[in-house]
Structure 1
Amino acid sequence: MSEELIPFIGAKYILEVNQNSGVSVGDDFEIDEDDDLNKYVMKVIAPDGST
């Protein structure tokens, strides 16, 4: 629930997930370098669930 910004120098991607998403510290996440990243959309979710 922290809103503190943590700089991560050299990071190519940052994955932010919701609490209780099932993702845990240490889980592996892989993006294929050949993947078309333009097909992904970032949405900001408000506390009421709207985007």
Structure 2
Amino acid sequence: MTRARVRCAACDRPLGKRGRPCARGCGARLCTARHIPPCNDVHGGQCPNLDIPEE
């Protein structure tokens, strides 16, 4: 049985041993690749722990 590969939550690249957890604590793993826009910025708008202020 093979183990599922961990992939970036924003760009879907395989992470291997690299990657960092979401800063908001949702459990998503994000890559550290140098592309624009960075994955932590992209995931910031998609994160389930995002607190949007009510008007």
TM-score class, shorter? under 0.3
TM-score normalised according to structure 2 size: 0.21
Higher strand residue share: 2
Larger RCO: Structure 1 or Structure 2 (Cα < 8 Å, ≥ 6 residues apart)?
Answer: 2
Higher helix residue share: 2
TM-score normalised according to structure 1 size: 0.22
